[in-house]
Amino acid sequence: MKIAVLPGDGIGTEIVAEAVKVLKVLDLPFEMDEAKVGGAAYEAHGHPLPESTLALAKSADAILFGAVGDWKYDTLDRPLRPEQAILGLRKHLGLFANFRPALCYEQLTHASSLKPELVAGLDILIIRELTGDIYFGQPRGRRTAVDGHFPGAEEAFDTMRYSRPEIERIAHVAFQAARKRNKKVTSVDKANVLETFQFWKDVVTEVHKDYPDVALEHMYVDNAAMQLVRAPKKFDVVVTGNMFGDILSDEAAMLTGSIGMLPSASLNAENRGLYEPSHGSAPDIAGQGIANPLATILSAAMMLRFSLQQPEAADRIESAVRAVLAAGYRTVDIWSEGTQKVGTREMGDAVVAAI
C-alpha cells in the first residue's frame, strides 16, 4: 500500500509531519512518498500541481494532504494559483464524495460561538459532492451580454450542472452513511429557484426508495444555513452539491468552535481518497510551531479506515486523540484556562505517546 504525502503550504508542512509521525509509530505495511503541491510546487516546478505530483497521487492508494495557499500567490494567473492543485486533484482522481464531519468534542464545547447546550454532543456528517456543479461546469468565462439587464455590456458567467448519475452516486453515499449513523438524511437544495436543484431533489427522492429505513428530508439552502445556527443537533447526515456544500460545511465546522480538530475525506468510486484537515494553510501562523495538528492526525485515521482497510489502527489514533484532550493538552487555538498549552510537535508527541 502506498500513501502519497502532500504537505503543501503554510502550516501544511508542520501539521503533516506530525500525522506522518503518528502513522509511522503504528508500524503498518505501507510506504509513504512525499511531493510538493500548491504554492510550494509552483515555486519549485512552476505549477501548483506538477505532472510528477499528479502521477504520484494517481499511483497511491491514499493521499495525505496538508493545505495550500498564501496571499503572496493572489496575483498569479488563476491556473497557477495554489487552490488549482486541490481542484485538479479532485477532478483527475474523480474524488466526488467529500465527507466533512462537524463534531463537538466534550472538552471543547466552550470554544464554540454557540451556547453550550446547542452544541454539546454535536455530531453532523456533511457529504458534499465534489467534482460537479458550478465548480467545473462549462461553458464559463467573459463575453459581451446579448440579453439580460444590460445587453452589450461586458459580463462573466459560469454554468451550474448536475447529471442524473452524479446525483445518484452521491445520494447512495449519503444514505449508506446514514445507515451507519442515525438514519436521517437532509438533502439541501434550492429547488424553488434552480433547475439543477429541482433535478437534484427529484433524483435524491428516487434513490431514497432503495433506503426505506432511512428518513429523508429536503431543505432549501437558505433555511439550512439558518437551521445550522438555530438547532444544529437536529441534523444527522446532510447531503448537498459542491457549491452549497462548500458554504454549509464551513459554517458547520465553525459552529463546533474547534475547526482545528476537524478532518475530512474525499473519496472516488474505488474508495481511494484524499485526506486533509478542514482548516486552511493559515500563512499568518506558519513556521511558528503553534498550529494544531489534530485535524490532520484525525484525517490520517479516516484514511486508515476508508482507503487502507485498517479500522483498528484508525480507532487507536482516534482514542489517542481523545486521551490527549482528556489529559488537558491544547494547542493555542483550543486552549482555555486550566489546560496545558503545547506546540505542534508536542501535540504530535503526546498522540504518539498515547498510542
Ligand X SMILES: CC(C)[C@H](C(=O)O)[C@@H](O)C(=O)O
Indicate if 222 belongs to the active site.
yes
Rule CB under 8 A: say whether 337 interacts with its own copies. Answer: no
Rule CB under 8 A: say whether 135 interacts with its own copies. Answer: yes
Question: Which among 90, 88, 63, 85 has a CA at the least distance from the CA of 2?
Answer: 63
CA 332 from centroid of its chain's CA atoms: 22
Cell of 38: 500548491
Q: What is the DSSP letter of 271?
A: S
- Interactions with its own copies, residue window 268-327 (CB under 8 A): none
What b-and-e string marks burial along 33-63, b requiring 16 or more CB atoms within 10 Å of the CB? ebbbbbbbbbeeeebbbbeebbebbeebbbb
* Catalytic position from the list 61, 123, 158, 246: 246
Nearer residue to ligand X within complex by CB, 83 or 155: 83
Stretch that binds its own copies, among 52-60, 171-179, 192-200, 282-290 (CB under 8 A): 192-200
Question: Which among 210, 198, 125 has a CA at the least distance from the CA of 169?
Answer: 210
Rule CB under 8 A: say whether 59 interacts with its own copies. Answer: no
**Cis peptide bond upstream of 139, omega within 30:** yes
Residue 309 interaction partner, one of its own copies, ligand X, none, beta carbon < 5-8 Å per kind? none
- Start-to-end Cα distance in the chain: 22
CB of 128 to ligand X, least distance (A): 8
The residue with its CB nearest to ligand X is: 83
Indicate if 73 belongs to the active site.
no
Please give the backbone phi and psi of residue 193, each rounded to the nearest 5 degrees, phi first: -125, -40
Residue list, annotated binding site for NAD(+): 280-292
Residues designated as active site: 135, 190, 222, 246, 250
Residue list, annotated binding site for Mg(2+): 222, 246, 250
Q: Which residues form the interface with its own copies (CB under 8 A)? A: 78, 81, 83, 87, 94, 96, 113-115, 118, 131-132, 134-138, 140-142, 145, 147-150, 153-166, 190, 192-200, 221-223, 225-230, 243-244, 246-251, 253-255, 259
